[in-house]
Structure 1
Amino acid sequence: MSLDERFIKAAEDVKTLKTSPNEDELLELYSLYKQGSIGDVNTPRPGGLLDFKGKAKWDAWNRKKGISQENAKEAYIAKAQLLIETYGTK
């Protein structure tokens, strides 16, 4: 299986976790997914005073700046596998 195919499969597999990961794990998954699929953050940081979730997601993604898309995809696959082993799937 190619890296892209494994990345897509991992993204599908994490949707079937029995239990939702904690916020930090979700932010890590989100940021690796965005870095792997898009690359460095390409939008301005959300400016709304109450958009805590949007800012947290943007900040998590921005911390991945400079990581290649290939490395981010590999890290995402590894993180997804760890979460599947931890939480199991439906």
Structure 2
Amino acid sequence: MSDLQAAFDAAVAASKQLPEKPDNMTLLKIYALYKQASAGDVDGKRPGFTDMVGRAKWDAWNELKGKGSDEAKQEYIDLIESLKE
């Protein structure tokens, strides 16, 4: 396992124990970076208008289309570290 992957895994664990719950926009960013880092570009259709949460998640993830896995992992790590302070 690479150092980046180990740091990413540690950040994922740390994200569940943050001192305060992040605001919704930050939560969407955390979700999108996690999905981009672990699954790559979004696929499938955009959720319908009635699924507002699913649609917001899909849109946030779609904004990262083309970002490499390693870059997304590093941004995720940096974001979680900034929220731990």
Give TM-score, length-normalised by structure 2.
0.93
Larger relative contact order (Cα-Cα within 8 Å, sequence gap ≥ 6): 1
Distance 1:8 1:31 in 2: 16
Number of the residue aligned with 2:22: 21
Is the aligned partner of 1:66 residue 2:37?
no
What residue in structure 2 maps to residue 35 of structure 1? Answer: 36
Partners of 2:73 and 2:80 in 1: CA distance = 10
- For the residues of structure 2 that align with 1:28 and 1:52, how far apart are their CA atoms? 16
Structure 1 gap segments, 5+ residues each: 86-90
Partners in 1 of 2:40 and 2:77 — Cα distance? Answer: 16
Distance in 2, Cα, partners of 1:58 & 1:72? 16
| 4+ residue runs over 4 A deviation | none
The one-letter code of the counterpart of 2:23 is: N
Other-structure match for 1:8: 9
TM-score, with structure 1 as normaliser: 0.88
Amino acid at match of 1:10: A
Corresponding position of 1:53: 53
Identity score, percent: 44
What is the number of equivalent residue pairs in this alignment? 84
Q: Distance between the aligned counterparts of 1:42 and 1:50, measured in 2?
A: 19
- Secondary structure of 1:16's aligned partner: coil
